[in-house]
Amino acid sequence: GLALLFYKLFKWEKLLVNTQLIMILVIPTVLQWSLGGFQLSGVVCLWSSVAPFGAIIFQSSRKAVFWVLSYLILLSISFYFDSDLMKLQTSEISSNTKLFFFGMNLIGTSFVTFGAIFYYNKNLMDEKLEKESFLNSLNLNIDLLLNSIDKFSVGDLTGKVSTEAEDESQKKLIFGYNTSLDLIKTLVEDLRDKSFNVHELIMENTQSLRELEDNVHLNSDKFKGVDSNLKNLILYLGEVNKLIVDNENITRDNKELALFGGQTLKEAVGKFEDVKKSFEETDEMVKHLEKVSLEIGEITSSINEISESTNLLALNASIEAARAGVHGRGFSVVAKEIGNLTNSTTDATQKINNKIKEIKSKTKLASSQFSKSNELILTALDSLRNMEFTMNEMIQYSEKSSSNIEKIASETEKEIKLIKEDLNKLLGVLDGFNLITDKIDEIYHESDTMKKTANQMIERIEKFKVI
């Protein structure tokens, strides 16, 4: 009862079967022992032999061996203690009763054993027929599957298996195969469409890449010329920077020459001042020198010519300075001429001094002529002072020009440096463009490979028959 309850609640089939087999094995044997052995019980232990047959039916042949051994052990115990059990029985049982119970037990166990064997044999036959039917159906379905697989191996996807198999596993197998075939067919059709699309896309991309490659190579040739021009421009900027530095040095030299020329003019003015003082001191002494006054007149004429030349040179210096602008290159020529003029003036002054010494010793009659000469000297002195003033202005202008040129040179050097950096960056961009050109070439070659692969894929997919 507990076994049935557990089976009802928990579906413990093994517990139920084992409990029933134990009861079938043990209860008849215990009943026989209680009745007094084989003779008195009518060999009721024959019912225990049903347990091994039940194990064969409901369990397995291997487990049935255990139940057979258990039955034999109980049977051996019964034989061993049979005489003792008979002695313990006090009640008398008639022979007919013993015979009745023996026949009942024998017939009952025989029928039960026959029924069990019949049931077991019937199950075996039914199972055999079922297996034969299953194998026949399986062989048929396997043949159909093999035919479909043969078609599938050559690319024919139309060979679906149609059968009316009764076995659920075969139905599931065939249904799964047909479903897989439909999925593969759908996949092949989709793959074929996608392959054609990919092939068309690759063809379009290949054409675009071809045009891009041609344009890139065309631009690459242009960029090569730009690259060469940029490098030449960098070299030219270096030369320009060098010229600016040289011009700065020349301006500095011109400034120094102008300062030197100004100092020279200043010294010449001082000397003319000394000459003027000398003429003033000897004015009274040379008035009586008529003959010498003529010579002094010639000398003063010479001084006049020098004065005119000085004025002309000053004018030329102004013109040259205006033309030269910030560079003032021509001023060196004027400065040189001014130096020569100063030398000529010095020589003339020396002659005048010599003549004055001669006049001192000979006559004092040249006073009036000397006064005229003194006026000429004053005029020349004024001219020299004007020239000195002009020279000072030129020096100031030269200093200002030199300062501006230095600033321009400094700023130009910075700008050239920045331009060189930008040009070098541009050269780096051109190098990157060359790398891009190489990559485009590689992509173009890869697209050819992809096109060949797509063609091969289409050829292989076309081998499949889906309709």
**How far apart, in Å, are the Cα atoms of 388 and each of 329, 396, 445?**
19, 12, 82
Q: Is 199 exposed, middle or buried (0-12, 13-18, 19+ CB in 10 A)?
A: middle
Q: What is the mean pLDDT of each run of 10 residues along the chain (467 residues)?
A: 56 76 85 78 80 82 88 87 74 64 71 74 80 70 70 66 64 71 73 71 70 64 58 64 66 65 66 65 60 62 64 64 62 59 62 65 60 66 67 66 67 70 65 65 68 68 58
Q: How far apart are CA 412 and CA 433, in angstroms?
A: 31
CA dihedral 453, 455, 461, 463 (to 10 degrees): -120
Structure tokens that stand for 15 in this block = 């517990």
Q: Which residue has the tokens 């199950």?
A: 123
Contact assessment for residue 258 and residue 335, using Cβ atoms and an 8 Å cutoff: yes
Residue 19: what pLDDT? 80
E strands, 346-437, where? none
Instruction: Name the residue ranges covered by the structural domains of the chain.
Output: 2-149, 224-461
Residue 271: what pLDDT? 66
Q: How far apart are CA 35 and CA 29, in angstroms?
A: 10
The amino acid that residue 414 corresponds to is K
Handedness of CA 414, 415, 420, 426 (dihedral sign): positive
Q: DSSP labels for 207-255?
A: HHHHHHHHHHHHHHHHHHHHHHHHHHHHHHHHHHHHHHHHHHHHHHHHH
Q: How far apart are CA 467 and CA 454, in angstroms?
A: 23
Residue 263: what pLDDT? 72
Identify any residues that bridge with 465 across adjacent strands, giving them in sequence order.
156
Residue 69: what pLDDT? 92
Residue 366, SS3?
A: coil
Residue 153, SS3?
A: helix
Structure tokens that stand for 347 in this block = 């020589």
Q: What totals of helices (H) and strands (E) does the chain contain, helices first?
A: 11, 0
Structure tokens that stand for 35 in this block = 């009745």
Residue 465, SS3?
A: strand
CATH architecture type of domain 224-461: Orthogonal Bundle (1.10)
Closest CA to 313 of 274, 347, 340, 295: 340
Half-sphere exposure of 270 (CA within 13 A, CB side): 6
User: How distant is the alpha carbon of residue 274 from its chain centre?
Assistant: 88
